[in-house]
Structure formats: structure tokens, C-alpha cells
Chains A and B, each alone.
Chain A
Amino acid sequence: MTTAFLETTVLTNLLLKKDGSEEEATALLSTFAVVIVPQFAWKEFKRGPLANFRWMHNKLAATKSYAASMAALQRMSRSPRGYLTSTAIQALHTAFVSAFKGIAWEALGRTYGKNVDADVLIADALRLKLKQLIFYSWGQRKTLFGGQKKILTCYPDIDIKESMPLLDLTPIDCPNGQECCLKTSLVAQSQRVAVARAALASDDGRQETTRRRQFLRQIERHPQTPMGKRQCQQFGDAYFVLFCPNDAVIITTNERDIKPMADALNIAVANPTATP
């Protein structure tokens, strides 16, 4: 197989990670002649990871304090670890301090006042790094692997807006009341939709899976029901299975959600982080 169909998790690794997983993704993708990044993946990327980066950026801009922003992140986090550890927060602080080593801050402080304060300085530095990452990664949708493919006609593809000092990512979804452009194609392949639905475990207890199954069932049995932005979100991972080009391989780290549906439809899946 010579074509890779990129899913959102691997796109995120490529664009945001710097822990080696981006290199694993690059290595796997280099074995394919063609890599397709569907606009649906960019849409999910903006709605998920990029939206959280924007939140962190805006928190730093609003508080102008590293300590206050990190405290906010610790309280807001829903990660399995619970929160970013104090050690990690201190390590990040230390990393920025080392970027400013050897500078005669006292002399600058006499002229520039509070701009020299370490908490403000590091908050600004982190905010600028996040903003750089947000702009750089979102800008890649025009060029990465030849630009985004399988364009969604109902989704407004818009550059990031600045309302200084805050960032605005809207719209992150299709407009309210807009019928999804994917629906016609989904209704036309209702048999495959049924196979994908049957492959979704009914007992995994996750709301995400339950909603996806309900949505796929709705497409099968009530094709006249409108498909709006909420249904599009519920559809989620099933997109990559039902819209994967013939003879392409889905590249994902989210095997738990994608693989059962892909296996049922005889679609190959590859995970760049899996050990060979």
C-alpha cells in the first residue's frame, strides 16, 4: 500500500510534540508515496489540541503571571495524572531562566521596571512560544504533505484572529443549522455504516462510543434527520474509517477507537508509536 490517510492524533504528534513521537510519525510516513491529510483532521486538531493551547496562551496574556497561569492549569486539568506536577512547572521555569542567563538584568530593570520581573518575563516568554506554535502549526495546513485534502464544503477554513492580546480560533465548527456535507455520502454507504456501528463495543462504558453508535444508527435508520455540528463531532473517529481512500492505510495512535471499525471493514491501520 502506498497511500497513508492521516488521523488527528498523528497530525498532532507531527505538529506539536517534541518528545520523539514526531520523529516516529515522520519515519513511518516516509515509507508511503502519498500522504493524505483530510481537512476533517485539521478541523479536529483546531477544535481539540489547538483550542487548549489557545486557552493557555490567553490565560498567560490575561494574568501576565507564570505562577498564576500554572495554578489555573492545575485546577482545570482533566488529565489522568491529575495535574502538571510541581516538578514539571519548576523545570519549565528553570528552562526559561537558563535562556536568560548571563544578562545584566539590574541595569535593564532601572529602565524597564516591571518588564524585568521573573514571573512576568517567563509568562510572556511562554505565551510567545505557545503563540508561535499555534500560528506555525495552523499555518502548516496549507503546505504539509501538499496541503489539506478532502475539503469539507460546510466548514469555514479561517486563519487565526488576534484580538490583542488574546487569540480567537473561532469558528471551530461548521455554522449552526448547516447540513453536514458528509451526510449524503454517509447515507449512500449505509451498509458500511452498519458494519462500523456493529464493530463498536457496546460495553466499553464511554460516552464517546455510545454517542458515535447512536449517530451511526441514526444515519442507517433515519437518513432524513439533519446532521449538524454536534452530530459531526459524535461521528469523529468513524470519519477516518468510512472516508479512507481505497487501498490506503489509516495512520493513527488511537487504535482503541479506530481499529475495531477498520478491521470490520478490512482497512489497514498503522500506529507509528507501536513497537515493531
Chain B
Amino acid sequence: MTDPTSLSEFRFRRALASSFRRALASSTALPFDAQRSDATLSPEAGSEDVASVEHAGNFLSAAVLRKLDPDTELGRFLDVTAQAIQTFQSCSQELSSGRNLAADDKLMASRQLLAELFMLRELSDAIGVIVLAALETTSKVVAIVDAPDLPVACTNALHRLWAAPFMSFAEAAPLAHAIEVAAKTEGMAAFSALVDELLEAQGDAPLE
């Protein structure tokens, strides 16, 4: 890259991406228990509003980055997450309306979207752990009426993930745990054997 114009543009874009990444790590664009204000972005918000909101509210959001660079893995992540959120929300609505079969259809449809999100896990471990929890729990639910709280738990966690895909793992782990608790399914029995093995190995000299 010898062209000084390209070089400066490259540096500018790298600095921009870096600042977005930092901002997204601590984004509060959509706390999942907060009331939405006019300045609050959500996956459903029209992309036309994004730039003006960014100026008016003086904060960065995932949606801004999607608008600037929609072809990246992050752009794909945001799009698929928004679809998954909508699917889980529809699932909740169908369930509360008593249309259980339709709700179960939505749950099954969500799994392909979750699988695609898991393909994007290299973006951050926060994405990986939350999406894995959703994938694992939805696989164990025989019928959605057995786990009516699951769509809401998944919606909440994905909302937060959409707003802050680079959140700290310490924040992501309890969100994943909340999904597992909502499903009320049995844990992975085979995992216990590995846990036992690792505990047996403890002693004065841990595995190095």
C-alpha cells in the first residue's frame, strides 16, 4: 500500500473500527430491561434513523457499524441476530395467544439462525457462549409449552448481544446461564464425566 491516500484511509478505517469495537464492548444501546427512548436503538429500528440518532444521542452503536460496513462478519452477525430476535418474539406472541403449534414452529425455525450465529463465534466468545446456550437448550425442549420462558430469555440475551457483541465474558456468562435456567431441562449428563475427571486430577500439582 504505497498510495498515501489509501494509506491514510486505511489508518482512518482501522482507527474507526477500533473505536467502534471499544464502544460496542460497553454499549448500553439496549439494556434489555430498560424502557426504549427515542434515542434507543434496537434491531427493529430503521437504518435510516441510525445516523441521526448517533449524532443526537452522541453514542456509537452496532447499527452504525452495520450501516457503514454491511459486508463484514459483524454486519452479518447483526442481521442474523435481528432475525433471531424477531423469531423468538413471534414465538412468545404465538405462545401467549395460545397458538402453540405456531409457537413451536418458530422455535424450530430459530435453530437454523442460531446455528448460523454460532458460525460467527470467532467475533467474540460472548457471542459463542450465549448462542451455544440457546442452541443447546432449544435442542432439549421437546415442545415449547414445556419451556414457555425460554423465548423471552433468548430474546433478552440476544438483544443485549446485538447491542454489545464484544461485551465482556463476565457479563455474557450469566446471560447464557439465564437461558439454561429458563429451559428447565436436564444438564448434559456426559459433561459430568469430564468434570469428574478434571476434579480427580486436582492435587498439589495441577495439570500444567
Which residues of A are at the interface with B, using a C-beta cutoff of 8 A? 12, 16-19, 47-49, 51-53, 55-56, 73, 76-81, 83-84, 88, 91-92, 94-96, 98-105, 108, 111-112, 115-116, 121, 124-126, 128-129, 131-132, 135-136, 139, 159-160, 162, 165, 208, 233
Do A52 and B207 have beta carbons less than 8 Å apart? Answer: yes
Instruction: For B121, list chain A residues within 8 Å (CB).
Output: 115, 124, 128
Find residues 157-198 in chain B having any chain A CB closer than 8 Å to their own CB.
169-170, 173-174, 176-177, 187-198
Kindly provide the distance from the CB of B143 to the nearest chain A CB, expressed in whole angstroms: 15
Which residues of B are at the interface with A, using a C-beta cutoff of 8 A? 108, 111-112, 115-116, 118-122, 125, 128-129, 132-133, 135-136, 139-140, 169-170, 173-174, 176-177, 187-204, 206-208
Instruction: Give which listed residue, A17, A55, A131, contacts B206 with CB less than 8 A.
Output: A55
Do A102 and B204 have beta carbons less than 8 Å apart? Answer: no
Name 16 A/B residue pairs within 8 A (Cβ), A-sorted: A77-B197, A77-B200, A81-B200, A91-B190, A92-B188, A92-B193, A95-B188, A99-B135, A99-B139, A99-B140, A100-B115, A100-B139, A103-B111, A111-B119, A128-B132, A129-B188
Do B169 and A84 have beta carbons less than 8 Å apart? Answer: no
Instruction: For A125, list chain B residues within 8 Å (CB).
Output: 132
- SS of B interface (majority): helix
User: A103-B112, A135-B169 known; A52 and B198 CB under 8 Å?
Assistant: yes
Kindly provide the distance from the CB of B150 to the nearest chain A CB, expressed in whole angstroms: 14
Kindly provide the distance from the CB of A272 to the nearest chain B CB, expressed in whole angstroms: 16
- SS of A interface (majority): helix
Instruction: For B140, list chain A residues within 8 Å (CB).
Output: 99
Kindly provide the distance from the CB of B49 to the nearest chain A CB, expressed in whole angstroms: 30
